[in-house]
Structure 1
Amino acid sequence: MISVKAPGKLYIAGEYAVVETGYPAIIVALDQFVTVSINQADTIGSIVSSQFEENSIYWRREDGKMVFDNRDNPFHYILSAIRVTETYAKTLHKQLGVYHLTVESDLDAADGRKYGLGSSAAVTVATIKALCAFYELPVTADKLFKLAAIAHFDIQGNGSLGDIAASVYGGWIAYRSFDREWLKLAKENYSFTSLLNQPWPGLEIEPLTPPADLKLMVGWTGSPASTSHLVDHVALNKAERQEAYEHFLANSKACLNEMISGFRAQDLDKIQHQLTVNRKLLNQLEAFTHTQIETPLLAQLCNIAESFGGAAKTSGAGGGDCGIALMRVQNDLPALTTAWRDVGIRPLAFNVYFERDDVK
């Protein structure tokens, strides 16, 4: 049996601006995982997820294609990951097989509500890693990112793909998104091999080392949010306020460049200051696009963390899900988590996950 895992993620800063080509964000991988396992099958394969046990898929292969017994299923990202990886396998003249694929996830609450940790990205990455092992395909981190980005973008159609980068590379990363319009054209005009092997315009992924006294705290509001819906809402409304949006982009880039330099210099004061700046920028974006990013409960999360000496903001698209706080290890962290609980925020005891041996 082959079994691999991919971590979830949280955005630290740079949300919304990062969907524009070349604009930076900082993202962190967490020690909560999607695990994908593959077993060789004879004639009938299956795809089973602990999240959707009642919708397990059974399939067979006919003339090199997967044929399903039930078409109405929630496994879109898994199926896209399979399509992309098997396309890669065919470029290397691998014989396609039949298998049982099983998915287990830590990225949701026990009642099925999502934490907002990028489960669709993690399952895409884990599925591709598992199939590359199954088919014995050569895969570097860069190639894994490209395979997963293609598979994920085929389904979601928007977003920066930064969550894919976090699941692939682990740890803290500075991420600048590639040109998605270029990818659409490149898929039509380049061979699959050429698409994987050439540089992607605008793409930059830089590992970051956090200061030793930085502690990442995560709080969950218990209210899931739809990233795709929120990103689309901002995109629709930014056209009416193009000047304000361009101002937001320029300020976000300046803020993130300063924050990244803070990581390089191990300057926690600088990192915290720029996180507070980024929170204000997102509040301005919220105002002129009429999109609720910082909900009242997320605002409480941030204000409480600031009262304990930290810097805090929403994580990801906002509208619910998680907020993050960058604290000093010397701060009274138990008192902070108690204060969060008192207002209905659930502290999540997650740690940063650094990729080690799975993919180099």
Structure 2
Amino acid sequence: MISAQAPGKLYIAGEYAVVEPGYPAIIVALNQFVTVTITPSQDYGRIASKQYQENSLYWQRQGTELVFDNRDNPFHYILSAIRLTEQYAQVLGKPLAMYHLNVNSDLDSADGKKYGLGSSAAVTVATIKALCQFYDIPMTKDRLFKLAAIAHLDVQGNGSLGDIAASVYGGWIAYQAFDHDWLASARRELSLNDLLTTTWPGLQIELLTPPESLELMIGWTGTPASTSHLVDKVAIFKATQRQEYHAFLDESRDCLHRMIDGFHNQDLAAIQHEIAVNRDLLNRLARLSHVTIETTLLKTMCDIAVQVGGAAKSSGAGGGDCGIVIIDAANNLAHLLKEWQVRGIEPLKLNVHHVIE
């Protein structure tokens, strides 16, 4: 049996702007995982998930194609990852085989609470990692990111792919998206092998080292958010108020560059200051685009953290899900945690996950 894991993620700063090439974000990988296992099979294959036990998917082969018994299934990202990885396996001369693939995720709670930790990205990455082991395909992080990014885009159609980067590289990363239009053209012109080895315009991924005193706290508001719905609303704002949108982009870029410098300089106060700036920028974007990014409970969560010396903001698209706090580890955090719990904010006991080479 072959097994591979990929971690979930949370955005620290740079949301919304990061969907544009050249505008950075900071993302962190967390120690909650999607695990994919593969066991060889003879006559048919099965894709199953502990989270979707009633929706196991059975498949057979017609030549090199996977043929499925049913089309209505929750496994689109897995199927896309399989399709692309097997295409790459064929390029490398690997014969295709039958197998059972099983998925288990602890990115959501045992009772089904969705925390917004990027499960679709993690399952895409874990599936590709497992299949590369199964087919004995050597895989660098750079190539893994590119394969997973293409597979994810084939399903989702948009997004920055920063969550893919977090699942692949782990730790704290500074991320800038690649040019999606270039990729669409390059896929028509380049072989898959060339696509994985060439430089992708605009793509930047840098591992960051946080100050030793930095403590990351995560609060969950109990309300799942629809990222795609929120992003669609901001896209309308982008199309109708271009000057205001570009002002937001430029200020977000400058803020993130200063925040990244704070990591380079091990300057916790500078990082905290820019977290507060980024929160204000996102709230301004929310007002201009009529999108609820910082819900009432997210605002309460952040305000409590600020009162005890932390810097806080929503994480990801907002509208619910998680907020993050950057605070000095020497602070007494008991009061903050008590105030959160009184208001129904669940502290998530998660740590940063570093990918070992």
Q: Which TM-score tier does this pair reach, normalised by the shorter chain?
A: over 0.9
4+ runs of 1 displaced by more than 3 Å? Answer: none
TM-score calculated relative to the size of structure 1: 0.98
Counterpart amino acid of residue 24 in structure 2: P
Structure 1 distance, partners of 2:218, 2:46, is 36
Amino acid at match of 1:81: A
**Which residue in 1 is equivalent to 2:162?**
162
Give the distance between the partners of 1:158 and 1:285, measured in 2 at CA: 20
The CA deviation at 1:139 is 0.6
Match of 1:121 in 2: 121
Q: Residues of 2 paired with 1:300 and 1:309: CA distance?
A: 15
Query: 2:274 matched to which residue of 1?
Result: 274
- Matched residues in 2 for 1:338 and 1:99: separation? 49
Could you tell me whether the CA contact under 8 Å between 1:156 and 1:228 is conserved in 2?
A: no
1:178/1:201 contact within 8 Å kept: yes
Deviation at 1:231, TM superposition (A): 1.1
Alignment of 1:307-346 (within 5 A): 307-346=307-346
Aligned to 1:101: 101
Deviation at 1:354, TM superposition (A): 0.4
Distance 1:113 1:184 in 2: 35
Query: Distance in 2 between the 1:82 and 1:334 partners?
Result: 46
Say whether the 8 Å CA contact 2:225–2:318 is kept in structure 1: yes
Separation in 2, partners of 1:127, 1:194: 22
Question: Given the alignment of the two structures, is residue 134 of structure 1 paired with residue 129 of structure 2, yes or no?
Answer: no
Counterparts of 1:198 and 1:229 in 2: how far apart (Å)?
33
Identity of aligned residues (%): 64
Equivalent residue runs for 1:24-35 within 5 Å: 24-35=24-35
1:1-360 aligned at under 5 Å gives the runs 1-356=1-356, 360=357
Equivalent-residue separation in structure 2 for 1:200 and 1:228 (angstroms) = 25
Cα shift at 1:110: 2.1
Shift, 1:233, TM fit = 1.2
The CA distance in 2 between the partners of 1:341 and 1:43, in whole Å, is 52
Deviation readout 1:219-259 (Å, 9 max, x if unpaired) = 00111111122111101122221111111011000000000
RMSD across aligned C-alpha pairs, in angstroms? Answer: 0.7
CA contact (8 A) 2:237 2:245 kept: no
Quote the offset at 1:260 in angstroms: 0.1
Moved more, 275-284 or 67-76: 67-76
The alpha-carbon deviation at position 336 of structure 1 amounts to 1.1
Unaligned runs of 5+ in 1: none
CA offset at residue 113 of structure 1?
2.8
Equivalent position SS for 1:216: strand
SS at match of 1:326: strand
CA contact (8 A) 1:43 1:61 kept: no
* Residue aligned with 1:103, SS: strand
The Cα of 1:25 is off from its aligned counterpart by 0.3
Q: Cα offset for 1:37?
A: 0.3
Whether the 8 Å CA contact 1:158–1:228 is kept in 2: the answer is: no
Is the 1:29–1:170 contact (alpha carbons within 8 Å) kept by the matching residues of 2?
yes
> What SS does structure 2 have at the residue aligned with 1:126?
helix
Q: Structure 2 unaligned segments of length 5 or more: list them.
A: none
Within 1, Cα distance between the matches of 2:100 and 2:117?
26
Deviations, residues 184-236 of structure 1 (Å, cap 9, x unaligned): 11111211111111000000000000000000000001111111221111011
| CA distance in structure 2 between the partners assigned to 1:186 and 1:291 by the alignment | 34
